[in-house]
Amino acid sequence: MKKIQLISILFFVALIPLTQLKAQEIIKKKGYTLSFESNFAELDPKLKKRLIETFFEVYPKLAKEYNPNTLKEVKFSVDTNYKGVAATSNGKVTFSSIWMVKHPEDIDVVTHEVMHIVQDYGRSVGPGWLTEGIADYVRSKFGIDNPGAKWTMPDLKPEHSYKNSYRITARFFTWIEKNVKSGTIKAVDASLRDHTYTSAIWTNLTGKDLDGLWADYVKNPQI
C-alpha cells in the first residue's frame, strides 16, 4: 500500500507544471526572517542575492524609522505567472520574473514594496495616491541604488498634481520635508497607520492645506 501511495504522489508531482514548482530558502538575520521562493528557473543567482541583501539592508531601517511593530517574517516570491512589476499583500512581495529580466538593476523595487509592509495601513482612511507617494518618497530616501536603476523623481511639469501618486507625489513630499517642515511625512504615515488621518493634518503640521502647499511648490519647486 505504501509503495502504491508513493508512486501516486510521484505521479501527481510529475503532473505539476514546472512553473508552479517553487524552491524555497529561509534566511534569518538582524532579527528578521525572509522566506524566498521562485518558480523562475532562470533567475540570476546574483540578482537573487541582491534582492535578499537589499531586504536586510533596508527593512530594519524602515522598521526603526516608521514602524517598530512591523512584521518580523516576510516572504519574497519571483513568479512567472505575475504580469505586473511587483505587488505586496499580507507580508508577501511578489515580483514579476519578466521585470527581473528586463530591469535587473531595479533593486529598489524591494525598498518600495517592503515599505508597504511597514506602512500596515489596513483599511486605510487615506487615499491611494498618498500610500504610493509615501512608498516612493521612502524609496528616494532609503534606496540602495536608485541611480543604478536610472530611477529619479521627475521635475515638476504643468500637468502634474500631488494626486498623481508614486514619484510625482514623492518629489512633492521631499520638497515639504526640505522647505516646509521636516518630519511631516513621518507624522502623516503614523496617522494613516492608526487611522486618525484626515486632510486637516497637513494644516495642523505645516500651517497650510495640501492645495496651499502645492501652490507654493509650483512657485519654487527646487529640492
Q: Quote the distance between the C-alpha of residue 114 and its chain's center.
A: 4
| Calpha distance 204→193 (Å, rounded) | 18
Tell me the one-letter amino acid at 115.
M
CATH code reported for the domain at 19-120:
1.10.390.10
Angle, CA 110 vertex, CA 106 and CA 115 arms, to 5°: 135
Percent of the chain with pLDDT over 70: 90
* Residue range 139-163, pLDDT digits in tens: 999 999 999 999 999 999 999 999 9
Higher pLDDT, 123 or 43: 43
Query: How far is residue 10's CA from residue 93's CA, in Å, rounded to a whole number?
Result: 30
pLDDT value at 67 more than 80 = yes
Query: Where in the chain are the domains?
Result: 19-120, 124-223
